[in-house]
Amino acid sequence: MSIAIVTGGASGIGRAIATALVTRGDTVMVTDINTEGAAHVAERLNSLGKGTATSAALDVTSPADVTALYQDVRADHGRLDLVFNNAGIAIGGLAEELTLDHWNRAIDINLKGVVHGVHAAYPIMLEQHGGHIVNTASLAGLVPMPIGIPYTATKHAVVGLSLGLRAEAAGRGVKVSVVCPSFVDTPLLHNVNPGLPETPMSGDASTDIAKAAPRFYTAEKLARDILRGIARNQALIVAPASGRLAWRGARLSPHGAVRIAQKAVDRIRG
C-alpha cells in the first residue's frame, strides 16, 4: 500500500489517477482548488471498499500551502510514497491574441505549481530514502504545439525540470517521471482560459481541437498507462501510441514537426 498525494484531483486526469490508486488499495489525498469537487471524489472513492481517500483544498500557486499539506500527509502516515503534481490550466489562442495575464497564469499554475510540489516532496523523499515524484506535462512539452504557446512553454519546462531532477535523484533512492499525454478528454478542453481575457479558443475548445486531433484519449486509459510507467520507472510516460509516434517524428525531423503543426493551425483558422 502506497501513501499518495494527487493535485488537481477533482476531475480529469487527477481524478482518474486517484481512482486507479484507490482501486489497487492505496491511501490517497485528493487535492484541488475546487474543494467540493475534491471532497466528492474522495467520498466516491471510499465507497470502492479497497484503498482509502481523503480530500483537501489546495492552491498549488501557494508554496506555503503545498509544503504544509505535503508535510501533514507525511506526519499523518509516517511516509510519502507517491506525489502526482498534476494540477494544470488550459491556455488557448494565437500569440497575438494572448495577454501577459495568459502567460502569467500558465506559468503560475502549470510550471510553478509543479515547482512547489517538487520543492515540498523532494526533501521528504530524500530523508526517507525513497519515493516517486510524477509530474504531469503534455505531448505539448515534447513537440511544437501552437495556438496556446504559454501552455506549450510551461509543459516543455516541466519536462526539462523532471528529467534534470531524475538525474540528480537517481543515486539517492528517489524516482522521477514525467507524464506527456496527447489530447485527453478532460474538462480542461471545455474550460480554456478560465477567468482570463477571451480569445476565439476560450471556453469549450474541444471542437476546434478536434480539427487537428480528432481522436481523444480517455483519462482512465491514461491513468493505467501512468501506473504501468511508474511500475517500470519510466522517465517519460508518453501516451497513447499516436502521441509516441508524434514524439518520435519530432525528434527525427524537427522541421517536419513544425510543418505539421503549421497545417494544424491552418485547419483551425480555416
SS3 readout for 94-162? CHHHCCHHHHHHHHHHHHHHHHHHHHHHHHHHHHHCCEEEEEECCHHHCCCCCCCHHHHHHHHHHHHHH
Closest CA to 14 of 118, 97, 85, 107: 85
Residue 56 to residues 7, 155, 172: CA-CA distances in angstroms?
A: 10, 25, 30
Contacts of 223 (CB under 8 A, 6+ apart): 13, 16, 17, 19, 20
Q: In Å, how far from its chain's centre is CA 260?
A: 25
Residues assigned a catalytic role? 151
Spatial distance between the Cα atoms of 193 and 91, rounded to a whole number of angstroms? 5
CA geometry: angle at 213 spanning 113 and 160, to 5°?
Answer: 35
Which cell numbers hold the place of 49?
471498499
81's CB contacts (< 8 A; 6+ apart) are: 2, 3, 4, 130, 131, 132
Largest interatomic CA distance in the chain: 56
- 3-state class of 170 per DSSP? helix
3-state class (DSSP) for residue 54: strand
Supply angle C-alpha 180, 237, 107, rounded to 5: 30
